[in-house]
Amino acid sequence: MIVGRGDEAPEALFTEKQVSNWLGISMPSLQRMRSKGSGPAFVQLSARRIGYRKSAIEAWLSVRTINRVGEFTARPSIPNSSLGLEQCPPAAENGNAA
């Protein structure tokens, strides 16, 4: 058992299964995220056992919280000339080809 400092109670650890259920993702997805370093911080309890602190999961979720549409997916605009689109004819109106 992890001993807290002072009057603090030790923080509970969640299993991979509990975290995958909480996040709504599969265990293999959570494992892939962990191996790539893109998932929540974890605790290596033994060679085959992983634990997750609630605070680490909440911090990971907080970083991924989006307040505005497009905030997360914003990308720099690419000029049409870079895509070769300046040579494309304009789309026909009403969806019919001319």
87, part of any domain: no
pLDDT at residue 98, rounded to an integer: 47
> Tokens at residue 48, please?
């085959």
96, part of any domain: no
Residue 49 has pLDDT above 90, yes or no: yes
pLDDT at residue 67, rounded to an integer: 81
Structural domain harbouring 19:
15-65
pLDDT at residue 90, rounded to an integer: 46
26, part of any domain: yes
DSSP secondary structure code for residue 51 in this structure: E
DSSP secondary structure code for residue 23 in this structure: H
Residue 6 has pLDDT above 80, yes or no: no
Phi, psi of 35 (to 5 degrees): -70, -25
The count of domains in the chain is 1
Residues 66 and 72 sit within 8 Å (Cβ to Cβ): yes
pTM of the predicted model as reported, rounded to 2 decimal places? 0.59
Contacts of 41 (CB under 8 A, 6+ apart): 52, 53, 56, 59, 60
Q: How much is the average pLDDT of 24-43?
A: 96
Region of poorest pLDDT, from 3-7, 22-26, 66-70:
3-7
29, part of any domain: yes
45, part of any domain: yes
